[in-house]
Structure 1
Amino acid sequence: MRQRFLNSPMMYAFGMLAMMIPSQAFSSFYSYYYVDKLGLSIGLATLARTIFLIWDAVNQPLFGYWSDRTNTKYGRRRPWIFGAIPFFMLSFILVFSPPQGLSEMGLFTWFLIALVIYEAVATVIWVNYGALFPELFKGDRLRAKASAVQQGYQIVALLIGTALTPILFDAMGFGKMSIIYALVFGVLMLIFLRNVKEDEQAMLSPQLGFKEAFRETFKNKTFWLVNIANSFAQTVNGLLSSMIPFYAKYVLKVPEAQNAILLGSIFVSVIPLVAVWFWLIRRLDPVKGWRLSFVAYALSVIPLWFGTSLVSGIIAGVLVGFGLAGFLVTPPIVNSIIIDQDFAKTGSRREGIYTAVSGFITRSSGLISALAFLIVGIIFGYEDGDNPGPDPESTFRYLISVVPFGLLVVSIFLSFFVKIERKPADES
């Protein structure tokens, strides 16, 4: 029975389910928790995110490089993931468990330290998990299937991490909520690891030296264009997730308890729409399908501007689901093609470095998101939950619709410069 599921898309996707439940709860509610609930200023929250990104710029590529060069009887990636599991669980709990009675500077210090630890451990897991994808799944068809299954699991995780989280923290507080999610993460991650075996041949491929490895990565123009375009779209993912609680409160004017309904409407619709995108990208060139996902996503955020009630917000959320589904499915396929072509050129399997640098570029979207929050907040006078300014409704209409649309237009523009020449054998 185990052999049947070994390295199957379903078992690989359990890793996504494990990671995305706490990660989505974090990205959706850490700003709301620290800024609106605990009173940390937007400026200090943005400063903490900026300091983290400087640290992240260093550790992401290094973790990828070390992972590529790891060679044990258990594999290259699995030992890193096993070791990171308990540290991820602890750091996630720390983020949502600051001591009571801290001054604003004390709260900032706690937030910064917890954020740096959490994101560093998360980097180890994401880099090694993502590096397994092009190794385990070969060819466009299998990758399209694996990506669709993976993103289906991701949507389930998004539903849990966004829709269930308000119910949990309303009932038991953020601290106990974080403990539950940490335990769920640990169990699901062990299921994933038990059913994944790495390719022994991949571990035997020669590795480039430190300078050469990074030089080959940094001069790959296609890789940079793809991932910078992804970064702007990823910013939209982060904005939508983190702004929904504010949007519900200040624009739709619904009770906090109904956040779960609004968030659920977005992500429930994505599950069947992932299958639609799987059908589309099997019939399209991967790059064209990837570009189309940006166009669909840009159009889908427009209706959010017109939301005035829970019902209209739900309708707009369902429409967003179509664009979101496309962006979730298509990037792994395009990035895997880039990694394959690098292997053909260099003879070295460097999924770790490419996944790490790609992760840093897309994760830097958090800074873009934080800066957008800061700038729009300054324009409209929003400071925090106690001082929302004279027009918080406009603040969050712009942040959830106008800003995402502009970011996705940038992604569309960049995508037209991406050209990937392929041989027929590469498409099998």
Structure 2
Amino acid sequence: MSRKFLNSPTAYALGMFAMMVPSQAFSSFYTYFYVEKLGLAVGLATLARTIYLIWDAVNQPMAGYLSDRTRSRHGRRRPWIFASIPLFMLAFVMVFAVPPSLHDSALFTWFLIALILFEAIATILWVNYGALFPELFTGAGLRAKASAVQQAYQIVAILIGTALTPILYEALGFGTMSVVYAAVFGLFMTLFVLNVRENESFAKEEPLPLVQAFRETLKNKELWLFYVAGSFAQTVNGLVSSMIPFYAKYALGVEEGDVTLLMASVFVSVIPLVAVWFYIVKKLGGYRSWRLAFVVYGLSVIPLWFANDLGTGIAAGICFGFGLAGFLVSPALLGSEIIDRDALRTGRRREGMYTAVGGFLTRSSGLISALAFFVVGQMFGYVSGDEPGPHPEETFRYLICIVPLCLLAVSLVVSLFLKPQPAPSIPHAQGGIDA
């Protein structure tokens, strides 16, 4: 690859594409696969997510702390990413390649182990990948550009992970589908990691001791407000994408083969809308564009309540896509500014620790999503695909519209407590980042 490509927004975006293809397939279909196809009870699926979250509370910050302390000739982040590539591929295949003989407690045990392994390795990848962003890209304009390019690649990956997945698992089965996506991940993640170089000066800084690193992180109010607000909105991302197959079946009466069209309506529309939000972010700045995104995202879920067939479902999906695009593009600039201010205050670069904290809160959104599924399912009598209850349509209309609207209202309220700050001045990293 050319030197111009090295550390460019496009090179960085390859990593997002690589991780999001299997991750989106996982988040959109693992619940549907285990609950609707394999008959695992919703309560057991929720219990598995709860157990995982306890483990993740330790796993996330330690991954960030160890990443910040790593010193090697290849950098702090790249060695972790290299080592995780084959492990992630194996763990993803394990999630969907379930032995057909497993039922009840054995199926729950397999699901729990697969979930813990997959999410633990994903933690290492996401922490180290995310920690590279504020280091590679400095300045509001470059960060807005890099975020827009990154999110465009993410949306293409989401489209593949959602719209293509039903076609693949119908034609090949869930197990073979997982092998295909694992191979795609391995190829593009390797291309990404070979075309980024870290700033050597950042790695020369002596990291904060463990206790002090946690103390500095915990007392940063700006960080916590940013990530807590984002975690509720992130719950909407995962909840809506995972509920679309159920929503299509029970609320819209759509055949399973047409789920691809419904998902495509959301994620194809997001691709051009990312460009719209790029200009909004440049115009309004990190804070105002981030808060506006919560408002737009909340309004965008309302049409999903009124859709009643494939056509109106597609129209509602396009509306939702505009809100989703805003949430995907807007946080990167503000989040990087918060990390830069911390570096100026402490004299240390701690992208790994901060990314880990954000990752933990983001992943905790999965538990909120699972609890919402369980509670609303109990309200309307939905247990599993074998026992959908008397009102499955209401179950999934509430889960795809009312619950997201409430979550985004919480995000907006929390965001009001975060006051705008002047953007800090941070020296540029080395190596072609202005490409």
Same topology, TM > 0.5: yes
Specify the alignment match of 2:16 in structure 1: 16
**Deviation per CA, 1:310-341, whole angstroms, max 9, x where unpaired?**
00000000000111000001112111111000
CA distance in 1, matches of 2:423, 2:153: 32
Q: Is the 8 A contact 2:138 2:426 kept in 1?
A: no
Q: Is the 8 A contact 2:300 2:323 kept in 1?
A: yes
**Deviation per CA, 1:257-313, whole angstroms, max 9, x where unpaired?**
001000000000000000000001101131110000000000000000001000000
Specify the alignment match of 2:53 in structure 1: 53
Specify the alignment match of 1:245 in structure 2: 245
Specify the alignment match of 2:328 in structure 1: 328
Specify the alignment match of 2:3 in structure 1: 3
Specify the alignment match of 1:231 in structure 2: 231
Q: For residue 194 of structure 1, report the CA deviation from its aligned partner.
A: 1.2
- For structure 2, which runs of at least 5 residues remain unmatched after alignment? 429-435
Q: Where do 1:98-117 residues align within 5 Å?
A: 98-117=98-117
Q: Is the 8 A contact 2:290 2:334 kept in 1?
A: yes
Specify the alignment match of 1:193 in structure 2: 193
Specify the alignment match of 1:91 in structure 2: 91
Specify the alignment match of 1:356 in structure 2: 356
Question: Which aligned segments of 4 or more residues in structure 1 are displaced greater than 6 angstroms?
Answer: none
1:406 corresponds to 2:395 = no
Q: Is the 8 A contact 1:250 1:393 kept in 2?
A: yes
**Deviation per CA, 1:368-409, whole angstroms, max 9, x where unpaired?**
000000000000000111111101000000000000000000
Percentage of identical aligned residues? 64
CA distance in 1, matches of 2:425, 2:219: 25
- 1:132 is matched by which residue type in structure 2? L
Q: Is the 8 A contact 1:248 1:254 kept in 2?
A: yes
CA distance in 2, matches of 1:268, 1:313: 14
1:176 corresponds to 2:176 = yes
CA distance in 1, matches of 2:55, 2:343: 29
- 2:349 is matched by which residue type in structure 1? R
What is the DSSP-based 3-state SS (H/G/I as helix, E as strand, rest coil) of the residue aligned with 1:206?
A: coil
Say which is worse superposed, 165-174 or 197-206, in terms of deviation.
197-206
Say which is worse superposed, 1-10 or 297-306, in terms of deviation.
1-10
Specify the alignment match of 1:202 in structure 2: 202
What is the DSSP-based 3-state SS (H/G/I as helix, E as strand, rest coil) of the residue aligned with 1:5?
A: coil
Specify the alignment match of 1:296 in structure 2: 296
CA distance in 1, matches of 2:142, 2:285: 15
CA distance in 1, matches of 2:116, 2:179: 19
CA distance in 1, matches of 2:410, 2:255: 35
CA distance in 2, matches of 1:300, 1:289: 16
Specify the alignment match of 1:69 in structure 2: 69
What is the DSSP-based 3-state SS (H/G/I as helix, E as strand, rest coil) of the residue aligned with 2:4?
A: helix
CA distance in 2, matches of 1:427, 1:194: 24
What is the DSSP-based 3-state SS (H/G/I as helix, E as strand, rest coil) of the residue aligned with 2:100?
A: coil
CA distance in 2, matches of 1:424, 1:75: 25
CA distance in 1, matches of 2:103, 2:370: 22
Q: Is the 8 A contact 1:206 1:347 kept in 2?
A: no
What is the root-mean-square deviation in Å for CA atoms of aligned residues? Answer: 1.2
CA distance in 1, matches of 2:316, 2:334: 29
- For structure 1, which runs of at least 5 residues remain unmatched after alignment? none
CA distance in 2, matches of 1:291, 1:83: 37
Specify the alignment match of 1:284 in structure 2: 284
- 1:67 is matched by which residue type in structure 2? S
Q: Where do 1:339-354 residues align within 5 Å?
A: 339-354=339-354
CA distance in 2, matches of 1:252, 1:158: 22
What is the DSSP-based 3-state SS (H/G/I as helix, E as strand, rest coil) of the residue aligned with 1:308?
A: coil
- 2:164 is matched by which residue type in structure 1? L
CA distance in 2, matches of 1:33, 1:88: 19
Distance 1:424 1:15, change over 3 A: closer
Q: Is the 8 A contact 1:2 1:195 kept in 2?
A: no
Q: Where do 1:30-49 residues align within 5 Å?
A: 30-49=30-49
**Deviation per CA, 1:217-256, whole angstroms, max 9, x where unpaired?**
0100111011000000000001111000000000110110
CA distance in 1, matches of 2:239, 2:355: 23
Q: Is the 8 A contact 1:41 1:384 kept in 2?
A: yes
- 2:268 is matched by which residue type in structure 1? V
Specify the alignment match of 1:374 in structure 2: 374
**Deviation per CA, 1:82-130, whole angstroms, max 9, x where unpaired?**
0000000000000001111212100000000000000000000000000
What is the DSSP-based 3-state SS (H/G/I as helix, E as strand, rest coil) of the residue aligned with 2:283?
A: coil
- Calculate the TM-score normalised by the size of structure 1: 0.99
What is the DSSP-based 3-state SS (H/G/I as helix, E as strand, rest coil) of the residue aligned with 1:252?
A: coil
Say which is worse superposed, 246-255 or 418-427, in terms of deviation.
418-427
Specify the alignment match of 1:80 in structure 2: 80
Specify the alignment match of 2:163 in structure 1: 163
- 2:128 is matched by which residue type in structure 1? N
- 1:261 is matched by which residue type in structure 2? L
CA distance in 2, matches of 1:321, 1:102: 38
Q: How many residues align?
A: 428
CA distance in 1, matches of 2:224, 2:97: 37
Q: For residue 423 of structure 1, report the CA deviation from its aligned partner.
A: 5.4
Q: Is the 8 A contact 1:140 1:427 kept in 2?
A: no
CA distance in 2, matches of 1:283, 1:86: 41
